[in-house]
Amino acid sequence: MKINSSARAVRLIILRYLVSSWMTRRTRTRGAIGVFLPMLGVAVGVAAFVVVLSIMAGFVRNLEDRLLAVDSHVEVVVKDSFGFIPEEASLLKEIREAHAGIVAVSPFQRGDAILQSSARPSTVVLWGIDPVSARLSSQLESKTRNKNLQILTREISPENVQPSEKFPAVFVGNQILFHVNAELGDRLTLVSVTSEEGPAGLAPRQFPVVAADELRTGNPAFDSKLVVASLDFVNHFFGTEGFWAGVQVRVRDPLDLDNVVKALNKKLEPRKLRAKPWTEANQAFVRALRLERWAMKFVMFVVILVACFSITITLVLAVRRKAREMAILRALGLRRKDLGLIFLLHGIGIGLVGVLVGLALSFGILELVKGNFLAFLTGAYSDKPLPVLVNWFDVGFVSIGSVVLAAVASVWPAFEVMRIDVVETISDRGGFA
Amino acid sequence: MSSAIDVSTLWKTFLVGDGRVDALRGVSFRLQKGEAAAIVGESGSGKSTLLHILGALDSPSSGSVHIGGFDPFSGTDREVSCFRNSHVGFVFQHNNLLQEFTALENVMMPALILGKKDFDVRTRAQKLIDRVSMSHRAHHFPGQLSGGEQQRIAIARALINDPLLLLADEPSGNLDSVNAAKIHALLLEMNKDFGTTLVVVTHNLSFASTLPRVIEFRDGIIVRDSRSSMNEAEWSV
Ligand SMILES: Nc1ncnc2c1ncn2[C@@H]1O[C@H](COP(=O)(O)OP(=O)(O)O)[C@@H](O)[C@H]1O
Ligand SMILES: [Mg+2]
């Protein structure tokens, strides 16, 4: 016997049922399977999920911007006392590979110094970085005017003294510049806080530098204290060649550091190093934020769950309404399995359309938010639009998750339709066992 | 000529609560290929039950049923479905059509289920719709058709896969006498033109008498099986 291949017919039926529920009036269909409400439920759930989490992520990024400014998420430093880490490329590799959540590492040197102009001195923290890797390990570069850390590797001739020689470039906090009454391009002098024996007796070391760029973080702790230079220069200045004060570590999710810190500490134990997360100083706050994010995710999950539950209800009702047509389809030669497939795929179709509509909706809303629409409504963030940060992993997760839930929600209706008693239904005697 | 239907000592028992209903109690008969038979009998006499079993929608409790020499109850759901799809055309009393599909698409459906290409099917479906005088309504939905028109589309659909059997269970039961007569005429024409074996359950005795063979049921057994004299010679075994 020739075995039929009903796949095309099944596909046609599903598509028609999905489409015709939108044009019930035209087709004068009495028994169309509802699509709109459950679809809207899924769409709203997905949209709420994406919008709320994107705004929250943007908020966290903003906060990170202000609190951390140019600091990194984690610093690897010497464990017990002040001290330096011997320079070693393999250590960077080891740190980088300690945990999958680590996205960048960069060594640094740090110490106190005095920055002097012709007008007056200012005590500063002199920070030496590797311009290549530091681009990725912190937001430092974005806080400068020229957005180019490579400038730190150059020697530059100053604009305020003639005739000009070339001196190492440094970036200076904008409030320091103001304090010492200097401008960008000026020659300044870095003076060490310790003295050493020289030809004229005990004297501090002095290095001429050029203020090549300014730092503007919005956080006075940095803007009035920090001078950034290349790692080599700073090591030369402090006489610490061959050593680092620590290593900056950047992670994917700044609120989810525990595992990274644990992994780092475990791995670095033999080297007598430890990982110091930025959250150490803001623990309660970070914990609250993290809890809120989980609560949000849970609420959104429940919204989508309810939407999927309404898929189940819609389809189970549709099975009863369409029982006669399903029995007719059996008489025309569809298999029991095919009927189940129709309802399963119908539910998945609802979920799929819901997700697409939800995504379109959420990106529309996020555009409005970015365009300061919400600020206009609420009066909050009046000078700046709400920060928005779309996490594509979350978007993918909620999209796939919703479709899977829709599929699960359709399993029961699919079994229901497979249980239809064809003869009973066609003879108008009911039809459900 | 080979028999299209060969039924012997067919029993069908339904278990209802503690009791049992014997809907068919030892039914035997044969129908040649291309023959047309009316099944008559009062309500509850087992006519529909017989028809469902002939179309493999239901299975016998005991006895044997062969359709075109083939026992449809030995297969899997897939095989039985395939049997229904290609060898049986059903016309039920009412609401035969799929609401979301046009008349034309309804007629095409069994062929699409069979796996035929849309284009090939469309031409044949169109011809059948012409044949049942419904070409002006081909693109209408069932909700836009009258009861009689729906039944005509159902007849066209039943024939699209050129089945061995056309089974109609009170196809005019819901129609006025004028429309009923049209359906009756159409069924006979189809039987003649396509040579499809026809079994039609009807309460309309004057229609039944126009068929070459009439089988009367009472309480699950055949009480009369008559061939009209003018056809007797033609169908004698
Ligand atoms: N699923 C069933 N359960 C119980 N009894 C049934 C069932 N199907 C049919 N019957 C009984 O079997 C007998 C024959 O039914 P049916 O074949 O529908 O009669 P007809 O079509 O001749 O009116 C009736 O008494 C009916 O009540
Ligand atoms: Mg009946």
Mean pLDDT of B215-237: 76
pLDDT digits over B119-169, tens only?
889 999 999 999 999 999 999 999 999 999 999 999 999 999 999 999 999
Predicted confidence at residue B88, as pLDDT, reads 96
Q: Which residues of B touch A3 (CB under 8 A)?
A: 78-79, 82
Predicted confidence at residue B152, as pLDDT, reads 96
Q: Which residues of B touch A16 (CB under 8 A)?
A: 100-101
Q: Which residues of A touch B76 (CB under 8 A)?
A: none
Q: Can you tell me the distance from the alpha carbon of A98 to that of A265, in angstroms, rounded to the nearest whole number?
A: 9
pLDDT digits over A260-297, tens only?
999 999 999 898 899 988 887 777 877 888 888 889 88
Kindly report the nearest CA distance between residue A307 and chain B, in angstroms.
25
Neighbours of ion ligand 2 (CB under 5 A): B 48
Closest ligand, as measured to the CA of B92: 2
Percent of chain A with pLDDT over 90: 51
pLDDT digits over B24-60, tens only?
999 999 999 999 999 999 999 999 999 999 999 999 9
pLDDT digits over A296-322, tens only?
889 888 988 998 999 999 999 999 989
Mean pLDDT of A90-96: 92
Q: Where are the alpha helices (DSSP H) in A150-244?
A: 174-179, 220-223, 231-238
Mean pLDDT of A15-32: 66
Q: Can you tell me the distance from the alpha carbon of A202 to that of B55, in angstroms, rounded to the nearest whole number?
A: 113
Closest ligand, as measured to the CA of B17: 1
- Minimum Cα–Cα distance from B71: chain A residue: A1
Whether A1 and B57 lie within 8 Å, measured CB to CB: no
Ligand 1 atom nearest to B220, measured from its CA: 14
Whether B112 and A334 lie within 8 Å, measured CB to CB: no
Cis bond upstream, residue A86 (ω within 30): no
- Among A2, A322, A332, the strongest candidate for a mutation testing the B interface, having the largest count of B CBs within 10 A, is A332
B69 CA distance to ligand 2 middle (Å): 26
Whether B101 and A16 lie within 8 Å, measured CB to CB: yes
Percent of chain A with pLDDT over 70: 91
Write down the ipTM of this complex.
Answer: 0.94
pLDDT band for position B236 (cuts 50, 70, 90): very low
Q: Is the CB of B22 under 6 A from ligand 1?
A: no
Q: Is the CB of B99 under 6 A from ligand 1?
A: no
Which of A27, A332, A422 comes nearest B113 by C-beta?
A332
Q: Is the CB of B106 under 6 A from ligand 1?
A: no
Whether A1 and B55 lie within 8 Å, measured CB to CB: no
Closest ligand, as measured to the CA of B169: 2
* Amino acid symbol at A132: V
pLDDT band for position A1 (cuts 50, 70, 90): very low
The structural architecture, per CATH, of the domain B3-98+150-231 is 3-Layer(aba) Sandwich (3.40)
pLDDT digits over A116-163, tens only?
988 889 999 999 999 999 988 888 888 899 999 999 998 888 877 766
Cβ contact A408:A307 at 8 Å: no
User: In sequence order, what are the beta bridge partners of A156?
Assistant: A167
- Among B21, B43, B83, B98, the strongest candidate for a mutation testing the A interface, having the largest count of A CBs within 10 A, is B98
pLDDT band for position A47 (cuts 50, 70, 90): very high
Ligand 1 atom nearest to B12, measured from its CA: 12
Whether A325 and B114 lie within 8 Å, measured CB to CB: no
Which of B58, B81, B115 comes nearest A8 by C-beta?
B115
pLDDT digits over A212-249, tens only?
999 998 888 889 999 999 999 999 999 999 999 999 99
Whether B99 and A27 lie within 8 Å, measured CB to CB: yes
Predicted confidence at residue A28, as pLDDT, reads 47
pLDDT band for position A114 (cuts 50, 70, 90): very high
pLDDT digits over A356-412, tens only?
999 999 999 988 877 766 565 665 555 566 678 888 988 999 999 999 999 999 999
Kindly report the nearest CA distance between residue B192 and chain A, in angstroms.
23
* Model-wide pTM > 0.90: no
Q: Can you tell me the distance from the alpha carbon of A72 to that of A369, in angstroms, rounded to the nearest whole number?
A: 28
Which of B79, B88, B100 comes nearest A16 by C-beta?
B100
Predicted confidence at residue A18, as pLDDT, reads 83
* Amino acid symbol at B193: D
pLDDT digits over B166-199, tens only?
999 999 999 999 999 999 999 999 999 999 999 9
- Among B76, B81, B101, the strongest candidate for a mutation testing the A interface, having the largest count of A CBs within 10 A, is B81
> A308: helix, coil or strand?
helix
One-character DSSP codes across chain B: --EEEEEEEEEEEEEETTEEEEEEEEEEEEEETT-EEEEEE-TTSSHHHHHHHHTTSS--SEEEEEETTB-GGGS-HHHHHHHHHHHEEEE-SS--S-TTS-HHHHHHHHHHHHT--HHHHHHHHHHHHHHTT-GGGTTS-GGGS-HHHHHHHHHHHHHTT--SEEEEESTTTTS-HHHHHHHHHHHHHHHHHH--EEEEE-S-HHHHHTSSEEEEEETTEEEEEEE-HHHHHHH--
The residues on B that touch A, with CB distances below 8 Å, are 48, 52, 55, 57-58, 70, 75, 77-79, 81-86, 88, 90, 92, 95-101, 109-110, 112-115, 118, 141, 143-144, 157
Which of A1, A12, A331 comes nearest B57 by C-beta?
A331
Ligand 1 atom nearest to B170, measured from its CA: 21
Ligand 1 atom nearest to B41, measured from its CA: 22
Mean pLDDT of A88-96: 92
Predicted confidence at residue B191, as pLDDT, reads 95
Q: Average pLDDT over chain A, rounded to whole?
A: 86
Ligand 1 atom nearest to B46, measured from its CA: 17
